[in-house]
Structure 1
Amino acid sequence: MKKVLGLLMASALIMSCSKDDNNNVSKVDMSKLTVGKWYFSGTKTTVAGQSVNQPYEHACTTAKDYEMYGTNGTLTGVEYTSDCNPMTYTDTYTVNGTSITSDGSTGTIKELSSSKLLIEYQETVNGVKFTYEQTYTAN
C-alpha cells in the first residue's frame, strides 16, 4: 500500500541520516493496537545505509487517512480523495509476537503506545535491501 510511495521517494531522494535500531516492543499489547483510528504520519525509507523521511501527505484538507485494527482481526482503512470523498478498504491481519501480517506483507511492530504505532517492513529488490518504517499517530 503506502510503502510503494516510500520506495519511489527513496529512489529519488536518498539523504544521509542516522539509523535508529530501537525495538521498544517485545510483545504487542492488543488493547493499544485496537485503540481506534491510526492516522498515517510518515515513512522513513532506508537503502544502503542512507535514509529519507517522507511525511505523509493527506489529499483531503479536512480529513485524514487512517487504519483501524479490529479486535476480530479485521483491518479497515479509509483514504480520502482530494475532494474529501472516502475510499474504504478492508483486509484481515494477524499478530504473532511483534510480527504483523496483512495484505500479504509482514512487518515488525517496533513501537506501540496509546498515541504512536511504528511498523517496519523490509524487502530486497534486485539485490538491494529496502527498509520502510511507517509511523501512525492516534490523534
Structure 2
Amino acid sequence: KDRARLETEVSHLKKALASFEGRVAAVKEAGKKSLVERQRSSHGQLDALKVQHSEMSAKLRAAQAKHARDREELRATQKRVAHEKHVSATKARELESVSRRVLSLEGELARARSTLSEMKTELSLTRRDAQSASRAA
C-alpha cells in the first residue's frame, strides 16, 4: 500500500518535473527568440546608422569642398579688388597730373591771347600811324 502510494507520488513528481522542465525550456526558447530579435533589431539599427553616417560624411565632404572653393573665390576677389584699387589710385594720380597740366596750359593760353591782343592793338596803332604819315606826306 505504501509502495503504491509512493509510486503514485513519484509518478506525480515526475510529471511535475517534466512540466517544470517544459516551462523552463519554453522560457529558454522565448529568451533565445527575444535575444535573436533584439540582435536583429540592433543590426538593423546599426545598418541604418552606418548608412546615415555615410550620408553625413558625404555631405561633410561636399560642404568642405564648397568651403574650399568659396575661400579660393574670395581670395581671387580680394586680389582683383586690391589690383583695381591700385589701378584706380594710379589713374587718379595721372588724372590729377593731367588736370594740373591743363590748368598750366590754360594759363599759358590766356597769356598768349593777352600778348596777341596787345600785338594786334600795337599793329593797329602802327598801321594808323603809317596811314597818317603817308597822308601827311
Task: Give the TM-score range, shorter chain.
Answer: under 0.3
Task: Compare CA radii of gyration and give the structure with the larger one.
Answer: 2
More helix by share: 2
TM-score between both structures, scaled by the size of structure 1:
0.12
Higher relative contact order (CA 8 A, sep 6+): 1
TM-score between both structures, scaled by the size of structure 2:
0.12
